[in-house]
Structure 1
Amino acid sequence: MKAWQIDGFGTPFQLRDVPVPQVRPGAVLVKIETSSLMSYLKEYVEGKLRRYRPPQGAFTPGGNGFGTIEAVGRDVWHLKPGQRVILSSHLVTQENVEDKAQILIGVTNFGGVGEALQKDWPDGTLAEYALYPVSTVTPVEGLDHIPAEQFSIFSRCVVPYGGLVRGRLAAGETIIINGITGAYGTTAALVAMAMGAGKVIGVGRNKHKLDAVAAAMGGRIETVALTGDVKVDTEALRRLTGGGAEMAFDMVGQADDPSATLATLGGLRRNGRLVLMGSMATPIPVDYMQLMGNNLEIIGHLMYEADAHLKLLNLLRIGRLDLSPIKATVFPMTAVPEAMEAARVASSLECIVVRN
């Protein structure tokens, strides 16, 4: 089969002929139809993202994908050849222990046992076939009318869904989304509305991008363009939310200025929750008395629970999750380098998809 591979960070990204993976117990072999590209894939393969821990030796990047099961291994009972499935990069060990190891297949490990886990499952979805552990494979039933590239957009929604569930977003609540003009921030708004949020407030620094997202959402969200002054921005959020939101969601990537996050925290009402899922590159100087006096929660969260795809598919199935504001731009398998460049500069209203 054809597969894109690197031999480690900073090595050439090459389309190679490699053996089709052999099916093994507890795994499924999937014929890949589409893969969505991470916006930072170019920087990743070039070795510019030093916090990531890639597999050792040659491997295929790319985490999430969509395709059809080609074969199943022993100890796979429910999944069958011919089923359409979504592949998730988020792999968590299944042992009954308190601190389970986890990795992002084709992307990174998080140390400890995760290094050994990654050696077993190094390869992602930028190939004609992918072998994935059964716990990361979700069947897609009753949605045959939805084209494969739409499921690449759907996969982007699952990450913020995990954080919104962790933050206990309830129907009718107001939520502030910091970083709404980013890829995951925009999908967080779509998912929050699907979950019944009463009001969605989008926060960002670029008014032009904020207006574009608001227009794509058909007026279903309101936005605040940040000034960088925490006090001014906090007051603007509290006015727009009528005294404060029940929940805030921070999805800003690689931020080196905490002012937006602090303003978002200040926009919460008493008993409010702030979920952090971005990648702040600097410490956040929180006010101890602000947290204590207002019963505020700050919740750090990584990825999502194993059943997230199933539950979010149900929201898609009944028409609650609207993917239409985001458009897929499709590249052929042979054009991954060009697709990486497109992903690097794409807006949050565009999803770059590689199709076999």
Structure 2
Amino acid sequence: MKAVLCKAYGPASSLSLEETTDPVAGDNEVVIDVHAAGVNFPDTLIIEGKYQVKPEFPFSPGGEAAGVVASVGARVKHLKPGDRVMGLTGYGSFAEKVKADASRVLPMPDDMDYVTAAGFSMTYGTSMHALVQRGQLQPGETLLVLGASGGVGLAAVEIGKAMGARVIAAASSDEKLEVARKAGADELINYSEGDFKEKVKQLTGGKGADVIYDPVGGNLFDQCMRCINWKGRLLVVGFASGRIPELPVNLALLKGASVVGVFWGAFATREPQANLDNFRQLFQWHSEGKLKPLVSQTFELDQYEAALNTLSTRQAVGKIVIKTR
């Protein structure tokens, strides 16, 4: 099979597309013939050795895939060869075949195509876990979403609306905000213009947001701690800005607020039933038309460098997907 290989840590330009051996399923694993692979921010980190997971060399990036089951391990009962599936692989999906733990692979809904499914698991799984289990978002509350035109941010806007929240979308340009508006955002903030904190307060009657979804970090996190409502929940999703912020704990005390970590991959492993329940709800909302995943660009497997660079330079709107066949 062909696979994008990382043989030493470095930028996307250091990767190579090569012929390599097919994966073999262990007892609790499945091998998937990959039709499409989602491109996510962790993919840009794992190839540079900056991610929590550090696979042995050589490895392929690509944390999620959609395709057809090629083979299953001896203990796998809920999947069989020929099933259309989607799942979280951790890494390895920028290839024609990938193996994955069977517990992290789900049958695809009948009304979903491979490209959509490849861009669904990580973004919607992360945002659903963030808003349901970690943020405990309630109908009528105000949800502030940073990076609202990106993969996880756009998913958070849609899920927030489906849960009955008032959604304020924040992004770095009017073009990106228009994408969030089309996804259902009630209010828009361009945080490249003026005082972000004051704009949030103006839109919330001076109270601040009840739940803040932050995949950006950096200076915006610092401002979020100053525009959060009493008993608010600030969800730490990622650090796309490049700077991991430090928390002024006195602000958490003064606001009675919580700063809550979101690590969907660990949640999916530790609480598989709760994760499955989340996806059942997500699939229902998708079939009802409440979730409309936006895949803004697709690339062929040999265009992996362009795909990764589009994401790392923050040019992506919605989701980017690599098609492998």
> Structure 1: any 5+ residue segments left out of the alignment?
90-104, 107-123
Distance 1:224-1:335 versus aligned 2 partners, 3 A rule: closer
Cα pair 1:30 1:68 within 8 Å, conserved: yes
Q: Does 1:188 align with 2:148?
A: no
Q: Which residue of 2 aligns with 1:332?
A: 300
Cα pair 1:342 1:352 within 8 Å, conserved: no
1:4-23 to structure 2, matched below 5 A, reads 4-10=4-10, 12-23=14-25
Looking at structure 1, the residues matched to 262 and 20 of structure 2 have their Cα atoms a distance apart, in angstroms, of: 36
Q: Does 1:129 align with 2:97?
A: yes
Q: Does 1:317 align with 2:303?
A: no
Q: Which residue of 1 aligns with 2:120?
A: 154
Q: Which residue of 2 aligns with 1:75?
A: 75
> Structure 2: any 5+ residue segments left out of the alignment?
none
Q: Which residue of 2 aligns with 1:84?
A: 84
Cα pair 1:328 1:353 within 8 Å, conserved: no
Looking at structure 2, the residues matched to 333 and 293 of structure 1 have their Cα atoms a distance apart, in angstroms, of: 50
- The one of 212, 221, 226 equivalent to 1:248 is 212
Looking at structure 2, the residues matched to 188 and 35 of structure 1 have their Cα atoms a distance apart, in angstroms, of: 21
Cα pair 1:161 1:191 within 8 Å, conserved: yes
Name the larger-Rg structure.
Answer: 1
Q: Secondary structure at the match of 2:116?
A: helix
Q: Does 1:163 align with 2:165?
A: no
Deviations 1:152-181 (A, max 9, x none): 232322222221121111222210112324
Q: Which residue of 1 aligns with 2:63?
A: 63
Q: Which residue of 2 aligns with 1:95?
A: none
- The Cα RMSD (Å) is 2.6
Q: Which residue of 1 aligns with 2:318?
A: 349
TM-score by length of 1: 0.77
Distance 1:214-1:53 versus aligned 2 partners, 3 A rule: closer
Looking at structure 2, the residues matched to 145 and 63 of structure 1 have their Cα atoms a distance apart, in angstroms, of: 23
TM-score by length of 2: 0.84
Q: Which residue of 2 aligns with 1:54?
A: 54
Distance 1:201-1:67 versus aligned 2 partners, 3 A rule: same
Cα pair 2:46 2:54 within 8 Å, conserved: no
Distance 1:185-1:132 versus aligned 2 partners, 3 A rule: same
Deviations 1:296-319 (A, max 9, x none): 111112124332434422321333
* Structure (1/2) with the larger helix percentage: 2
- The one of 161, 179, 196 equivalent to 1:233 is 196
The residue type paired with residue 185 of structure 1 is G
1:287-326 to structure 2, matched below 5 A, reads 287-288=249-250, 290-303=251-264, 304-305=267-268, 306=272, 307=275, 308-323=278-293, 326=294
Distance 1:25-1:189 versus aligned 2 partners, 3 A rule: same
Distance 1:212-1:318 versus aligned 2 partners, 3 A rule: closer
Measured after TM superposition, the shift of residue 210 of structure 1 is 4.5
Paired-residue identity, %: 24
